[in-house]
Chains A and B, each alone.
Chain A
């Protein structure tokens, strides 16, 4: 599995885990989604040619508006930025690849497939119709036209897949940037684009976790018929809070990479270091933090009270200040510069001008009394397009700027400038008239007659803007086959490390180990490393660098599993929307015994057959039979399977494929050596995997925090003390929860012992304590099943009975799902430990420790759930 096929082979692109390949995949895919979302935008503009619409009906128009927003924000803007991030961040900080290459590939495939799922939803009766903000309760099946029920669900599940992709990406980039910088490169010294990506992924980690919580609740309302967002005690407001807690940081998530690209481009083409670089970075960090306390400015017209409105007005208007500083820094960088008006510079400058207009009009919206009037109007539409699309324009500049680096060819400068002129004029023709007719309501195609002319100008501008991209496609495609080759840096006054290596960069990125130890970039040849570089110091001042000849023999680059794991996600996503609520969990239940069997089979293939593998395969059979028995009890074996629809089987195939591929990726020997001699402040003493686990748990904290917060929010609205009595429980049994608390705490202790004995090299005790932990989890689940059975079956209190039932079963159910995932991992660990892993190698023992972190987290979550759902 180690070697990559050449780039001309299709297989290469399916199995690659190389950050540059994945960057290119992101680039092409995001541009594909740009075109799809752009065509939808043109449909919107055609519809707006006259009041009352031209080509679309109400429901179709809503779908187009919704999909345009979702695709542009989620599937174009951020991934387009992350195409550059994938390609450039490792180059800029001097790393060979990202910390977790297979995870990176999985991020990409999940991203692609989640977008395809969204597009597929159009063909399942219609995609979501409630706008990209998916306001409740229009987003739940009760208010969805019956024909579009499946498509709406698919769209939501697509979003869940996308969020998963983003979370994996955030973990990966944070670990990489903190742990894998070239020697001597301090955090504060990393290039501005990498810095912007760092702050972006920090925001992503927390903001997208809130979106994950929101979409999990929404999926549950769709699939399991819980009642979160139809609940009249604040269900609508709950969605608005959850969505905007994510949604406002998202604005900066989308824009920050563009800001980083702008800073780099303006710096290079002005031939001057960014003025106030330190303050620029501090301002960005400030925005990243402050972005989490402005969200309620999207809700000024709701019933939130005056003090809160005032606070959020101040934070909102105040957040323009750090941006002012950044804009001034960019402007003053041009002073005394040696400015060349090349295409990237023009795009960066154009983006800056557009952003200033977008920023100023945004301050208007921050003033609450103005927002009362502007909310839901074209002022908002014009404002956020000026802001968001300025990000896109800046990144187009980035595309021209880094195109020679990525392809090794120079684009056609004249055509680039023509593109800029048309794009800039088209852009302003499209969006500026929207300020003039701002009284048009947003997402509406009926407007006062007097506005028609300006809407027609906007439509003309839209087509001009769209057409300008055809010039770019032609230019960039033709230039690939031109003879305008470039060496390491085609631009004067570049600074960052990606310009010190040849274009396109070789497989191993650098001709030796990059190091800033001497105060500037050198490529050092360490006798210890195995890069195969002959010469000692390759001077980089002249931009001439020596290619590394061979690739690192100890590093793996190819794996089918990321693609296959993600593919199982796609099958589930397009299938699950059509399954009735009573069937929806069964495909996943049936996948469990398959997972156990696959653990045995794959384990035997990879680690050599041992008794434990036989045991797993054998045990999976009664496990499956038991589940079939449960299914029979629920639906009747024959009738149940005969009555299940095609989407059930599609989901079943997806779930079983998931079981197979997770087992496969777990066992795959995929070696990614942690680089030595890197700058890893402030995490010198933590391994990559541990840091990755920490960051992942960080996002999981937000996920559970949001779920618990949702319950508390609704309970407050409902009346805190009326909560349980209203569900019919004046005196709810505490002891099942109490027992489970002790069981889980004990299992936390046993996993620590497993780690201790793995480090001491005791096979028997490692296995024993891993198994004890598994047993503890099993007792937890059995006890929970007993409790649920009592409540659900005997007392008839289900997750659809009332909002208490919805919050109780879903929150504790998600925790139980975490326990089950932990048990599956434990099965894997036990099989591996049986055949010699962990206890025979000191380094390897840490795997048990990392799992232990996860397991402790699951316990700690329970310590919050127990009082909240049993005692209070």
Chain B
């Protein structure tokens, strides 16, 4: 939980440099780290500065006799010597007096730099995540009210997603296939879902009549949670599966796939034995 890897990375001082081949989770964690660090620094500095200023320039606000606020005439002397524009009743508020302008633009420039930096960094990572590895095999995901069905290249279907460790898998996600969404009002058709795995940092909307792609890759064998993240009806809350994705060691997956005939044997061999795609 809690993007725990991010926090561990920060604590150990371990640089989150791009590995030779990065899982989507690594990409997400890199990005989250960068944004969290930047966001926290900016947030703390700005909030601290606000509180500091609000406190520093606080004056004794004891109301004037019979009034609810201070008597401004007690500052008459000060007003003559300083250049700050004080609001006056019934004024046309053009001209702001001196001060603040330069600082305003300096701060604006700094924030612009930060924002542009974040955009570039985010874009760079986006390109990586959008580029599905070439050696990925495609598995179809059909989201229904309220479960998922996975279709392997052979046509074999399962209710959990079984994948080998360290191998990219492209998911082709939909709610109902084009031409199969049926006639409305006759009980068929399907609503909008999302296939989402926080654990694997991957997700795609499952939209009726359309396909949406994403890809997953995970190095640690185990069970990973999958859930629907778009409100899809009364059963939406329970449309989650703690063991929705099962990542297996590669030889284990090979046995499983051969048993289930999930794909052509030769294709399977080629896929599992192909070298990992280099960093792009």
Contact = CB atoms under 8 A, between A and B. Distances in A.
Interface of A: 53, 57-59, 61-62, 65, 129-131, 135-138, 140-143, 145, 184-186, 188-189, 191, 225, 227, 230-237, 267-268, 270-277, 279, 299, 301-303, 306, 309-310, 313-314, 317-318, 320-321, 324-325, 327-329, 331-342, 349, 352-353, 356-357, 360-361, 363-364, 366-370, 372-373, 375-377, 404, 410, 413, 436-437, 439, 441-446, 448, 450-451, 484, 486, 489-495, 497, 499-500, 516, 519-522, 540-541, 543
Interface centre among B47, B50, B59, B108 (most CB of A within 10 A): B108
23 contacts: A65-B231, A138-B231, A235-B208, A299-B205, A302-B207, A313-B119, A313-B122, A331-B46, A336-B99, A356-B47, A360-B42, A367-B126, A369-B125, A370-B35, A372-B202, A376-B196, A376-B230, A377-B198, A437-B2, A441-B229, A444-B236, A516-B92, A543-B89
A303 B208 contact: no
A631 B50 CA distance: 69
B230 to A, nearest CB: 6
A493 B2 CA distance: 47
A373 B201 contact: yes
A234 B39 contact: no
Interface string B180-209: 010011110101101010100111110111
Contact of B86 (A143, A272, A314, A328): A272
Contact of A446 (B67, B70, B213, B240): B240
Interface in B169-188: 176, 178-179, 181, 184-187
Contacts of A522: 90
Contacts of A413: 68
Contacts of A62: 231, 233-234, 236
B104 A279 contact: yes
A272 B91 CA distance: 13
A341 B89 contact: no
B209 A540 contact: no
A302 B57 contact: no
Interface centre among B100, B111, B189, B213 (most CB of A within 10 A): B100
Interface in B205-250: 205, 207-214, 225, 227-238, 240
Contacts of A410: 68
A303 B115 contact: no
Contacts of A313: 119, 122-123, 126
Contacts of B88: 493, 495, 520, 541
B155 interface: no
A341 B210 CA distance: 56
B15 interface: no
A232 B204 CA distance: 18
B18 interface: no
Interface in B52-99: 53-54, 57-59, 61, 67-72, 75, 82, 84-94, 96-97, 99
A499 B89 contact: yes
B19 interface: no
Contacts of B207: 236-237, 302-303
A189 B86 contact: no
A325 B104 contact: yes
B269 interface: no
A143 B144 CA distance: 13
A436 B4 CA distance: 11
Nearest to A376: B229
A353 B210 contact: no
B36 to A, nearest CB: 8
B278 interface: no
A370 B32 contact: yes
A519 B95 CA distance: 13
Contacts of B230: 135, 376
B1 A439 contact: yes
Nearest to A130: B231
A342 B231 contact: no
A270 B50 CA distance: 13
Interface centre among A235, A271, A313 (most CB of B within 10 A): A271
B118 interface: yes
Given A232-B209, A235-B208, A516-B92, A370 B122 contact: yes
B203 A356 contact: no
A137 B92 contact: no
A321 to B, nearest CB: 6
Given A275-B104, A306-B130, A500-B89, A367 B212 contact: no
